[in-house]
Amino acid sequence: MKYYIIAGEASGDLHASNLVRELKKTDSAALFRGWGGALMEKQGVDMVEHYRNTAFMGFLEVAMHLRKIFRLLDHCKKDILSFQPDAVILVDYPGFNLRIAAFTHQQGIPTFYYVSPQVWAWKENRVKNIRRDVDRLYCILPFEQEFYRKWNYEVEYVGHPLLDNLVQTAPDPSFRSRNGLSSRPLVALLPGSRSQEIRNMLPVMGRVASHFPGYEFVVAGLSSVEQQIYDHALEHTPIRVCYDQTYALLQESKAALVTSGTATLEAALFKVPQAVCYRGNPLSYWIGRQLVRVKYISLVNLVMDQEVVRELLQDQMNEKAMIQELGQLLEDGPYRHRLLQQYELLIEKLGGPGASARVAASIQRQLLARPH
């Protein structure tokens, strides 16, 4: 089988790479081509475009790059036709992938969508197009299946793929020595995967460190981001960046400051008390708040349907508020203990590992069942 797979950011690259690994277990002759990152490439995907060149965030920023986005879409469509895949697998990244789904549906190519677009948050009417264009949709959050049922659309809930990573991640006893870290307790800084996020978030996170001299602050860096972006954001601070070692860092950390996104769930699954931080373009944020109908931005809070972790957004993401919140998280008292108890409930709610294997089996089952 030939698979064309598209992921547009770091979390999608992770989920897609795990899915490719599972597909190869039962289809050793499989060929993969796609858009994504280093993890997909490591699994043998012939890479067309890296997600660092395709990741745009915020309404204003997307509008400013529309010409480039349409060029990328056109390039992607032509490449799909040239490759002639047996199936197209789309991973999250809805602004781009839903347009590709419409195209592949028109071409009669079996199309699978892994990690449901967050249509429950805004633009619910997109469900009609998804139902028309996608052969099978795989959801990873427990409340999504019920949401789609309201639209008479049967989808598969496969559990969250991050649980697979948790099972596969063994403690790394050499992490501190290998990275030249002290014996002080660690605070992890997870400023996001996009250059724009890091420029916005990391300088403020970095300034908090000087108020906690008994702790070592460490950034979970990505080698896909230019090093000078981290260097500039951390200028005049002693904070180290550990590249491509997020899970090893979380395993060693007592608390974390995390930019909203998949990383909030990763910190929770490693049972690291966290504050969720986000500061974007004011106009983009205002537009988003008018359109998006959710009470929270953190995946932890969305899944639990309550404020488990504190969300410090826009003007609330300031030194004073972050210092106060982090102080409570680091103190071995009721605040920290309550949060850790909520994490246990969250893990129960997300189900067990095996999401990637379930999706791979479903895709192959449906492809084999199609008339040839």
| CATH number of domain containing 84 | 3.40.50.2000
Number of domains in the chain: 2
110-125 residues labelled b (16+ CB within 10 A) or e (exposed)? bbbbbbbbbbbeebee
Residues 154 and 191 in one domain: no
- Can you tell me the mean pLDDT for 181-194? 94
Give the residue among 261, 263, 262, 177 at the shortest CA–CA distance from 219: 263
Residues 15 and 113 in one domain: yes
Distance, in Å, from the CA atom of 325 to the CA atom of 24, rounded to the nearest integer, reads 45
- Can you tell me the mean pLDDT for 310-329? 91
Q: Give the side-chain half-sphere CA count within 13 A for 209.
A: 24
Residues 129 and 267 in one domain: no
Residues 245 and 154 in one domain: no
Residues 99 and 12 in one domain: yes
Report residue 118's pLDDT band, with 50, 70 and 90 as the boundaries.
Answer: confident
Distance, in Å, from the CA atom of 356 to the CA atom of 318, rounded to the nearest integer, reads 38
pLDDT tens for 21-61 read 999 999 999 999 999 999 999 999 999 999 887 665 554 55
Biggest alpha carbon distance in the chain?
Answer: 66
Residues 148 and 173 in one domain: no
Residues 360 and 338 in one domain: no
Residues 339 and 325 in one domain: yes
Residues 152 and 202 in one domain: no
Q: What is the pLDDT of residue 218?
A: 98
How many residues appear in the chain? 372
Q: Specify whether the CB–CB gap between 136 and 366 falls below 8 A.
A: yes
Question: 260 is in which domain, residue-wise?
Answer: 168-350
Assigned token pair, 190: 């997870």
Residues 259 and 299 in one domain: yes
Distance, in Å, from the CA atom of 18 to the CA atom of 41, rounded to the nearest integer, reads 11
Residue with tokens 């793929």: 161
210: pLDDT strictly greater than 70: yes
Residues 111 and 198 in one domain: no
Residues 155 and 6 in one domain: yes
